[in-house]
Amino acid sequence: MIYIGIDLGTTFSCVATIKPNGKPTVIPNFDGLKVTPSVVAYPNGETLEPLVGKSAVKSSVPLENIIYDSKRFIGRQYNDESVQEDMKSWPFKIIDDKGKPLVKLTHNNEEKKLAAEEISAEVLKMMKKIAENHLRKEVTRAVITVPAHFDQRQRHSTMEAAKLAGIEVIRLVNEPTAVAIAYGVHNQGKKNVFIYDLGGGTFDCSIVKCNGSNKISVVATGGHKHLGGQDFDKIIADYALENFKNFPRNNPKMMRRLIKECTEAKMTLSCHGTATIFIDSTVSDDGWKLILTRDKLNQLIDKKLRGTLDIVDEALRTANMKATDIDIVILAGGSTRILMVQDLLEKKFSKDKLWNKHNPDEVVAKGAALVAKSLTSSSSDSLQIYFNDIVPLSIGQNLRGDLMKFAIKRGTKYPCNVLNSYIFSRVKN
């Protein structure tokens, strides 16, 4: 039986397996690329299957039928502040169904109401197909990664998405923990490792102790469930709109083109000092054009990025460590390619501690594949990983108002036994 690791991302997803030599590798998709856009398009034709990935992005399907960001509302409530804010920029329609956000669209001439789990399931089905095509065998089980700060509802919804995709989840693994495993398995020596994971929609960080013998222990974690590259794209777009006179803000198609241009400009600025944002126009020969400099980008996203350092400091305090106690800093997630991220971390930890011998888009899936191999290997297998994680959010029961009865406090190592250990506390937002 074959087991795989899947990084189900906000913007991109990828799947990895283990080579015969024991090393993890990300499997290319049908376009020959290592990452697949987490985008699903629903054609309104006769009995047409949903399109996933690049084919969905490039399709002629109406914008209201092209769904992305499902990870941003999976397991959430309709009235969540973040969902309400994102709805302002989504071209697809979100409705309130007994407190749950559902996408309302017409697919194959039928009105459908789809939960985020159903949309994420289509992405997971594609990951499954990619793996089966490469391995020439059926894939039924996988380790799937989630942001460290996903709550229980979000984790359960991710499991439901996998079930809909025909995948049995061996284990959910926190994304920064998967990164630490991908690093620790093939690097000897005792080290305190800091994981800084900034992706398309979420930010996580973790402090992990690696003892050099495939034993990995998470000692602190922190994060933000709604902070990533897409937020930076929106900030750039808002700046562009300040400079674009008469831009059709109420035209979803034009706004999607603007966001795409802003995303590409952001990526360009990781290699060059300037980038051009240009939108042509059918009503004007000039269109809309803006030169964006790296300095201006840094200025625009400065507050957001420095906010991640507050979370970094909190994780260090939780672990009773200082920045000088950290031996290695590993960057994960595509947004860590932003040079300001690297500059801030170099100043925080020192330049020689940043570890860049990996692809930040692939390292999470590779770690998941290593976990899958370890959990399903025989005791005689050379790959045995021993790791523990911690509970990122306290688990308990709401009594009234802001009073909670906690059974498991944040930061507790698991698995754990907490019989008759309830703690009463006020909830802090």
pLDDT in tens, 172-220: 999 999 999 998 877 767 899 999 999 999 999 999 998 866 788 899 9
Q: What pLDDT does 424 receive?
A: 46
Q: Where does residue 172 rank: exposed (0-12), middle (13-18), buried (19+ CB within 10 A)?
A: middle
- Among 197, 204, 231, 389, the active-site one is 197
Contact 107, 44 (CB under 8 A): yes
pLDDT at 407 over 70: no
Q: What pLDDT does 382 receive?
A: 56
- Among 86, 160, 175, 233, the active-site one is 175
What CA–CA distances, in Å, run from 293 to 135, 270, 275, 280, 344?
A: 44, 11, 6, 20, 18
Indicate the DSSP class of residue 336: G
Q: What pLDDT does 392 receive?
A: 64
Whether 197 sits among the annotated catalytic residues: the reply is: yes
Residue 188 or residue 55, greater confidence: 55
Contact 210, 282 (CB under 8 A): no
Measure the CA–CA gap between 291 and 8, rounded to whole angstroms: 34
pLDDT band per the 50, 70, 90 thresholds, residue 417: low
pLDDT at 331 over 70: yes
Percent of the chain scored above 70 by pLDDT? 86
Whether 261 sits among the annotated catalytic residues: the reply is: no
- Among 7, 160, 233, 389, the active-site one is 7
Q: What is the pLDDT of residues 119-171, one digit of tens each?
A: 999 999 999 999 999 999 999 999 999 999 898 899 999 999 999 999 999 99
Q: What is the mean pLDDT of residues 95-119?
A: 95
- Among 69, 71, 86, 125, the active-site one is 71
pLDDT at 246 over 60: yes
Q: What is the pLDDT of residues 58-74, one digit of tens each?
A: 998 999 999 999 999 99
Measure the CA–CA gap between 96 and 79, rounded to whole angstroms: 8
Q: What pLDDT does 123 receive?
A: 98
Q: What pLDDT does 388 receive?
A: 73
Q: What pLDDT does 307 receive?
A: 96
Whether 80 sits among the annotated catalytic residues: the reply is: no
Q: What is the pTM of this model?
A: 0.90
Whether 64 sits among the annotated catalytic residues: the reply is: no
Q: What is the mean pLDDT of residues 300-322?
A: 96
Q: What is the mean pLDDT of residues 291-306?
A: 97
On average, the pLDDT of the chain sits at: 89
Tokens describing residue 218: 């998470």
pLDDT at 374 over 90: no
Percent of the chain scored above 90 by pLDDT? 72
